[in-house]
Amino acid sequence: MSNVLLDVRNLRTEFVTQDGVVHAVNGVTFALEEGETLGVVGESGSGKSVSMLTVMRLIPMPPGRIPSGEVLFQGQDLLKLSSEEMRQIRGNKIAMIFQDPMTSLNPVLTIGTQITEALELHLGMNKEKARKRAAELLKMVNIPEAERRLDDYPHQFSGGMRQRVMIAMGLSCSPQLLIADEPTTALDVTIQAQITDIIKRLKHELGMAIIWITHDLGVIAGLADRINVMYSGYIVETAQTKELFANPLHPYTVGLLGSIPRLDDNQKEKLTPIEGLPPDLVNMPIGCPFYARCAFGTDKCQQENPPLMSVGVKHWSACWNYEAVRAKRDEILRRNVAQPAAV
Amino acid sequence: MTIEAQTRAAPAKLEQKAGGDNSILLDVRNLKKYFPITQGILVQKKVADVKAVDGVTFHVKQGETLGLVGESGCGKSTTGRTILQLYRPTEGQVLFRGKDLAQLKGEELRQMRSDMQMIFQDPYASLNPRMTVGDIVAEPLEVHNIAKGKERKERVQELLRIVGLNPYFINRYPHEFSGGQRQRIGIARSIAVNPDFIVCDEPISALDVSIQAQIINLLEELQEHLGLTYLFIAHDLSVVRHISDRVAVMYLGKIVELTDSRALYANPLHPYTRALLSAVPIPDPIIEEKRERIILVGDVPSPVNPPKGCRFHTRCPLVIPICKEVAPEWRDVGNGHFVECHVV
C-alpha cells in the first residue's frame, strides 16, 4: 500500500463577477497516491483546470475565492500556507505544465536562463552547475544538441520542442507531483505521441505522481491509472482506468464515450451526441447538474443532487439511476459489435 | 418535422443527382499555391516562396465526402481555399463540373460561388459580431439575389430550423450563442444558397467533445437530405475517417496517400500514414496497452525549402538512398488506392 501524496477534501472555488458568483468547483474530494497517474477528464467549464490551479494556489483572489476545502500535500494544508511558504513548494515539490507552450515561456530570455532560474532558486546551485544540469534536462526530453540550444530563444524552437522545454523545466527540481494541464492539446498527433512517450518514460524513471488534465479520452486511456470525470465543477464519476472504460456508470461518461468516433471503428454508424448545453455556472440547478441533458433523468434527479456513491470496486458514480445506466449503456455505445484488432 | 420536409429545393436536386451517381463533381489537377516572401521597405523584392500546396491531384465525386487530413502547416486549409478561389492558384486546374475555376473571373466566378460554400473553423471569428443572426444567414441570399422581403425572412427561419436552432433567434447577435450554436449559424449560412459543394475547414476542432458529435451528425443529415458533396478538412483522423468515404493524407504541401476510409485503416501503405495512424490514441485502455507506436523523429521541415526528393525522407523510418534524390510519383496501386512513395 502506497502513501497518500495529495488529499483534496471538499474543495470549492468561486469567482465573483458582474453577472453573479460563478461556481467553478463545487466540493471536489479525491486522493492521489505516490507515483500514481490520475487523469482528470472534462469539457470547458467543467472545473478541471480551476480545481488544479486552486491546488497550486494560482487563482487570483479577488475575483476568486475558496469558501471551503483542504488541500493536504504530504499532510500539510497548502491553503493555509503563506505565499512565501507556498513559493517553496511550487516548482519544487509540485510542478505544473500548461497547455500553451507558446505563451508559457518568456520570449526575451534564453531557454538556458529560464531553466536555470528554478535550479538556482530552489536547489541553490551555482551558475555553472545549474547550466550543466539544464543541459542534462534537455537531453532527457530528447532535444538534440542540448548544450548549444541553451543559448537559443523560445522562438527558435517549434511547438513540440517548446512543450518539451516546459516539461524539462517542470522536472528540474525532481517534483513529487507533476500537474499537466492539457499539455498536448495544442500539438499535432505525431508530436503528441512524442510527448506522451517522454512523459511515460520519465514517470517510470523518476517515480513521480502525475495529474493529467485533458478533454481527450483517447490520450488518457493509455496514460492514467485512475480517472476523475468532471462536469460543472463536480466529480461525477471516478474509477480505475480500465474499469471506467469497460463499465462506465454515469450518463455523462457514457455520453462522452458515445460522442467520439474511434479510429478502429469500422461501423459507419451515427454517433450518439449529448444533446443540449452544460448549465450556467452562475445559476446552477438545485438537482443534478446533468439532469437537463440526461436520458435517464427522473424527478428525484431534478430535486436532489446525487453524491458520489460506491458502485463497484474503487468505482464511484454520482448518479441516482446508475443501475439503469448499466442496463442500457451497451446499446448507446453500439458495443455489440466485435472489437477489431488494433493498428 | 424532418429536415426533408422543411427544405424546398431539395427534392429537385436529389433527382438531378440520382442520374449521375458516380460522376465527378470536382477534379483538381496539379494544383499549386505559393505565397511569396518579400524583403525591403520601399521596393519589395521577392526572396523566396512558401510552397503551401505543391502539386496535388485528386477528384471528388458527386455526393461523397472526401476527407483531407494532415498536421498543421501541411497545406490542407490552403488547398480548400484555393479550390474555392479564395486564393488564386499559382498553377494547376480546378475543374468544377468540367469548368476550370482558375480561369474564371469577376461576375462569372461570382455566379459559381452559389454552388460552392465554406464552413469555417472558428465560430467566433467567422460571424460578424455586429450583425444579427438573421442578417448573417440572409447575406448570401442578398448577394445572390435569392428571395426578397417576407419570403427571405421565411427562408432564414427555415434555415435556422434545419440546423436545429430556434427560428425566433433571428434578431439575436452571435455573442448570445455558444460555440456549437454559432457553428450551426455558420452552417445555415453556407446552405442558404443551396450549394452542391461545401468545403468544411476544421468545422468541429474548436468545439467541446459532446458538441462535436452534434455537429458531425448535423452535417451527415444535411448531406443525406440535400445531396451535398463535402471536402472535409481536419487534423483529427478519427473524425475524418468517420465522416468520409475516401481520405487523402497530406504532408508538407503534397498528398501522400488517398484511398477509401476503410482501406486507409486496414491497409495503410505510406510510412507517414502509418505513423499518423499509430499516433492517434484510441479511447480504450486495453487496446492502448498493446499498441505499438511509430514515433516520428523531429519536426516537419519548412515549406519554404522542402527537402529534395521525397519530402518525408528526413523523418521516414523506411528511407532508402533514392528517396533523398528523386521525388516519388503519384501512382495508383489498385482499387483507387493512390500513394506517393518509392518503398511501397
Rounded to the nearest integer, the mean pLDDT of chain A is 88
Are A271 and B291 in contact (CB < 8 Å)? no
CA-based radius of gyration for chain A: 21
Q: Specify the pLDDT at position B3.
A: 52
CATH at residue B256: 3.40.50.300
Any A CB within 8 A of B276 CB: yes
The shortest C-alpha distance from B226 to chain A (Å) reads: 18
- B260-274 confidence digits (pLDDT tens): 988 998 999 999 999
Overall average pLDDT of the A286-291 stretch? 92
How far, in Å, CA of A253 to CA of A317, rounded? 10
Instruction: Walk me through the domains of chain A, giving residue ranges and CATH numbers.
Output: 4-230 (3.40.50.300), 232-332 (no CATH)
Q: In what order do the strands lie in the sheet with B45-61?
A: B45-61, B24-39, B91-96, B99-100
Any B CB within 8 A of A165 CB: no
Q: Specify the pLDDT at position A303.
A: 92
Check residue A238 and report its DSSP letter: E
Residue type, B144: H
Structural domain contains residue B41? no
How far, in Å, CA of A153 to CA of A147, rounded? 13
Q: Specify the pLDDT at position A290.
A: 93
- A153-191 confidence digits (pLDDT tens): 988 888 778 888 888 888 888 889 999 998 888 778 888
Are B276 and A189 in contact (CB < 8 Å)? yes
Any A CB within 8 A of B175 CB: no
What is the dihedral sign for C-alpha A329, A185, A40, A68? negative
- B304-333 confidence digits (pLDDT tens): 888 999 999 999 999 999 999 999 999 999
Burial environment of residue A178 by CB neighbours within 10 A (0 to 12, 13 to 18, 19 or more) = buried
Helices B133-143 and B149-162, axial angle in degrees (round to 10): 120
Helices A159-171 and A111-123, axial angle in degrees (round to 10): 10
Are B242 and A245 in contact (CB < 8 Å)? no
Structural domain contains residue B118? yes
How far, in Å, CA of B134 to CA of A158, rounded? 42
Q: Specify the pLDDT at position A336.
A: 52
Residues A10, A68 contacting (CB under 8 angstroms): yes
User: Is residue B2 predicted with pLDDT exceeding 50?
Assistant: no
- B124-143 confidence digits (pLDDT tens): 889 999 999 999 999 999 88
Closest by alpha carbon to A213, among A46, A11, A28?
A46
Check residue A267 and report its DSSP letter: -
Structural domain contains residue B24? yes
User: Is residue A130 predicted with pLDDT exceeding 50?
Assistant: yes
How far, in Å, CA of A13 to CA of A304, rounded? 21
Residue type, A149: R
Q: Which residue has the higher pLDDT, A204 or B199?
A: B199
Task: State how beta strands B197-201 and A315-317 pair.
Answer: unpaired
Nearest chain A Cα to B180, which residue? A277
B224 φ, ψ to 5°? -60, -45
Supply the ipTM of this predicted assembly.
0.81
- B35-58 confidence digits (pLDDT tens): 998 888 888 888 888 999 999 999
Structural domain contains residue B145? yes
Nearest chain A Cα to B280, which residue? A189
End-to-end CA distance of chain A: 36
Q: Specify the pLDDT at position A2.
A: 62
How far, in Å, CA of A260 to CA of A271, rounded? 7
The shortest C-alpha distance from B267 to chain A (Å) reads: 10
The shortest C-alpha distance from B237 to chain A (Å) reads: 7
Chain B (285-304) residues lying within 8 Å, Cβ to Cβ, of chain A:
285-291, 293, 295-296, 299
How far, in Å, CA of B326 to CA of B334, rounded? 23
Q: Specify the pLDDT at position B71.
A: 87
How far, in Å, CA of A281 to CA of B9, rounded? 42
- B85-128 confidence digits (pLDDT tens): 999 999 999 999 989 999 988 888 988 888 999 999 888 889 99
Structural domain contains residue B239? yes
How far, in Å, CA of B249 to CA of B317, rounded? 18
Structural domain contains residue B43? no
Any B CB within 8 A of A158 CB: yes
- B10-36 confidence digits (pLDDT tens): 444 444 444 445 689 999 999 999 999
Residues contacting residue A156 through CB under 8 Å, at least 6 positions apart? A149
Overall average pLDDT of the B197-219 stretch? 90
Structural domain contains residue B40? no
Q: Which three cell numbers stand for residue B290?
A: 498493446
Residues B248, A314 contacting (CB under 8 angstroms): no
Identify the domain containing residue B214 by its residue range.
Answer: 3-35+48-339
Residue that is written with C-alpha cell 475516401 in the block: B246
Domain total of chain B: 1
Residues A25, A50 contacting (CB under 8 angstroms): yes
DSSP B10-35: HHHHHHHHHH-TT-EEEEEEEEEEEE
Closest by alpha carbon to A57, among A31, A96, A5, A26?
A96
Percentage with pLDDT > 70 across chain A: 96
Structural domain contains residue B344? no
